[in-house]
Amino acid sequence: MDRGKKIQLKRVFGYCWGTSFLLINIIGAGIFVSPKGVLAYSCMNVGVSLCVWAGCAVLAMTSTLCSAEISISFPCSGAQYYFLKRYFGSTVAFLNLWTSLFLGSGVVAGQALLLAEYSIQPFFPSCSVPKLPKKCLALAMLWIVGILTSRGVKEVTWLQMASSVLKVSILSFISLTGVVFLVRGKKENVERFQNAFDAEFPDISHLIQAIFQGYFAYSGGACFTLIAGELKKPRTTIPKCIFTALPLVTVVYLLVNISYLTVLTPREILSSDAVAITWANRVFPSLAWIMPFAISTSLFSNLLISIFKSSRPIYLASQEGQLPLLFNTLNSHSSPFTAVLLLVTLGSLAIILTSLIDLINYIFFTNSLWSILLMIGILRRRYQEPNLSIPYKVFLPFPLTTIVIDVGLVVIPLVKSPNVHYVYVLLLVLSGLLFYIPLMHFKIRLAWFEKMTCYLQLLFNICLPDTSEEQMSEVQTVKK
């Protein structure tokens, strides 16, 4: 270690990085692969499906602004932990950290599997991708990204900026191509928009399903609660990033869907497993290979950012004494190496032991449960501390709207496809009490683990972070 260099997580990210970070979190592979879900539940009514996409953007804005209140009120990494601890107690906060340990590893495992699938798919054009090579490539990608993340924020920054520019450029290319086709005014391209609402209108149950399908595509806006401690001036940066990124994503999503519908019929979209690839085959057959590349690039950037942000709660938990001291260490690049290592290891186990569909279902189910509790916390703060002076207060109907959406995301899977595995997910959340009660409540210490920590510090060349006066004042502020 360089003794003249301070080893700590610093506020190094500004407005441009924050906007790029939010764009990558929201724009995943879904817009390339499966916008057909909204169209299917809209009964192939083009006008209704586009209205659903626009409405989902408004709903996503409400939930993102609710998360922004938490991040601005507690401007440090792991803001939701401090929020839950203040309004629900240390036990609930610990269970949230315990869940995020598995939730984060599940997210990165799912993204690595998707990345591997779309990277290999061009080599298996007439059949599905075999499981063994897919899982091997997913493991390799996961560990490569983990190594890059542990090299510090500089590597993450330039990779993130490059991939976000590439992702938005490809979506803009699809959008502008659709606009050109519409401007040309060919009958087969414009007729679906001239009679956009002529098809059958969906009933209320199908419309709700369409809204949930679209809402998934906008998810990811709560990411600032994990990395607020590394943003410069978070109280002003976070709102600016949100009001830049979300309108941009909304416009791009609408134009991309218009482009798909300009080139393809609704039935062709519903019959396609990857709409962007079908679109490319129709418009530029010789360049169709670009779409699998675009999807892989999109997923690579999402995987990189997921490991980056999901390692922060692990680091925070150790800082608060709720995980072993080993995870409250940084390497010479000021990266939480052991937290990244734990996350990648658990993600590797998830890749080996589970399927992609199971991972996605359980992740959204668990995430919705905690989102409901956070929104209840915002409402509770309004009731218990109505005169509390905070930098930003979200409009009160916003958390109520978010609660309704999240309750739907919890109830619909249970009603539509009841499965005993959802009980296991709840048991996994509560299993954190088996560690909290002896280690946190009764403060039992494991001497052998403390000795192992010393050996691992020497092996990995890691140390406890230096603490600045600014960080001390921030911690004291959020704990009040």
Number of CB atoms found within 10 A of residue 476's CB:
9
Q: Report the C-alpha gap between 163 and 474 in whole angstroms.
A: 32
Count CA within 13 A, CB hemisphere, residue 310: 29
Question: Along the 480 residues of the chain, how does pLDDT read in single tens digits?
Answer: 555 566 777 788 889 889 988 988 888 777 776 678 888 888 888 889 999 999 999 999 999 999 999 999 888 888 888 899 889 988 998 998 888 888 888 888 888 888 888 788 777 766 777 888 889 999 999 999 999 888 877 777 777 788 788 888 888 888 998 888 888 867 766 777 777 777 788 888 788 888 888 888 888 888 888 888 888 888 899 999 999 999 999 999 999 999 998 888 888 888 876 788 788 888 888 777 777 777 787 788 888 888 988 888 888 878 887 888 888 888 887 888 899 999 999 999 888 886 655 655 666 778 888 999 999 999 999 888 888 778 888 988 999 999 998 888 788 777 777 777 778 778 888 888 988 888 887 777 777 777 788 888 888 888 888 765 455 445 555 555
pTM equals: 0.86
Torsion over CA: 345, 349, 350, 352 (sign): positive
Residue 33 pLDDT: 63
Vertex 175: Cα angle to 48 and 129 (nearest 5): 90
What are the angstrom distances between the C-alpha of 172 and each of 33, 119, 148, 178? 16, 22, 28, 10
Q: If you search the block for the tokens 């609408």, which residue do you land on? A: 254
Residue 5 pLDDT: 62
Q: Report the C-alpha gap between 266 and 88 in whole angstroms.
A: 48
Q: Is 354 left (phi over 0), alpha (psi -120 to 50) or beta?
A: beta
Q: Report the C-alpha gap between 108 and 308 in whole angstroms.
A: 10
Count CA within 13 A, CB hemisphere, residue 300: 24
CATH number of the domain located at residue range(s) 15-479 in this protein: 1.20.1740.10
Residue 209 pLDDT: 80
Residue 469 pLDDT: 47
What are the angstrom distances between the C-alpha of 49 and each of 59, 161, 176? 15, 31, 20
Q: What are 390's two structure tokens?
A: 């905070």
Q: If you search the block for the tokens 């050109």, which residue do you land on? A: 180
Q: Report the C-alpha gap between 161 and 19 in whole angstroms.
A: 10
Residue 460 pLDDT: 85
Least Cα distance to 381 among 370, 371, 396, 366 occurs for 396
Q: What is the DSSP string of 332-354?
A: TTS--HHHHHHHHHHHHHHHHHS
> Hey, where are the domains in the chain?
15-479
Residue 472 pLDDT: 45
The burial of 381, by beta-carbon neighbours within 10 Å (0-12 exposed, 13-18 middle, 19 or more buried), is given as buried
SS3 410: helix
- What contacts 379, CB < 8 A, 6 or more positions away? 396, 399, 400
Torsion over CA: 27, 216, 18, 333 (sign): negative
Rounded to the nearest 5°, which phi and psi values hold at 350? -65, -40
What are the angstrom distances between the C-alpha of 247 and each of 51, 71, 356, 387? 15, 20, 30, 32
